[in-house]
Amino acid sequence: ILNVEQSPQSLHVQEGDSTNFTCSFPSSNFYALHWYRWETAKSPEALFVMTLNGDEKKKGRISATLNTKEGYSYLYIKGSQPEDSATYLCASRYTGNQFYFGTGTSLTVIP
């Protein structure tokens, strides 16, 4: 079992603030890094899947970067809105089809 760690565990920000959180993962045999957003009472929803070192992806106000050599990914939210409140999960896939989630970062955006 591999440990995928996310920090911080929870975060409260004011509407309009920009924020970021971290996903750390073992880099040996790495294959892909997934980010998901999980709103309360809804299904987790995919944000990004990244594979290459140095990858950067963007969807609206949300972007992510990937460093496969050192084993981390950052998720950034620019100008947070109340609708961004959710738990953000990362998951790391390895060769051999092993797939491990982190425990998530719970974001609350205060209007």
Partner 1 sequence: DAMVIQNPRYQVTQFGKPVTLSCSQTLNHNVMYWYQQKSSQAPKLLFHYYDKDFNNEADTPDNFQSRRPNTSFCFLDIRSPGLGDAAMYLCATSRGEGRDEQFFGPGTRLTVL
Could you tell me whether strands 5-7 and 19-24 are parallel, antiparallel, or unpaired per DSSP bridges? antiparallel
45 is an interface residue for partner 1 by CB under 8 A: yes
70 is an interface residue for partner 1 by CB under 8 A: no
CA end-to-end span of the chain, whole Å?
39
Residue 76 CA to residue 106 CA, distance in Å, equals 14
Number of Cβ within a 10 Å radius of residue 82: 10
Residue 107's closest CA among 54, 47, 38?
38
Q: In the complex with partner 1, which residue's Cβ is closer, 33 or 109?
A: 33
Question: How many amino acids of this chain bind partner 1 (CB under 8 A)?
Answer: 24
Burial class (CB in 10 A: 0-12, 13-18, 19+), 60: exposed
Please pick, from the candidates 77, 102, 105, 107, the single residue that binds partner 1 as defined by CB under 8 A. Answer: 102
44 is an interface residue for partner 1 by CB under 8 A: yes
The DSSP symbol for 52 reads: S
46 is an interface residue for partner 1 by CB under 8 A: yes
Min dist. Cβ of residue 47 to partner 1 (A)? 9
64 is an interface residue for partner 1 by CB under 8 A: no
Q: Give contact residues for partner 1 (rule: CB under 8 A).
A: 1, 4, 31-32, 34, 36, 41-46, 49, 51, 89, 91, 93, 97, 99-104
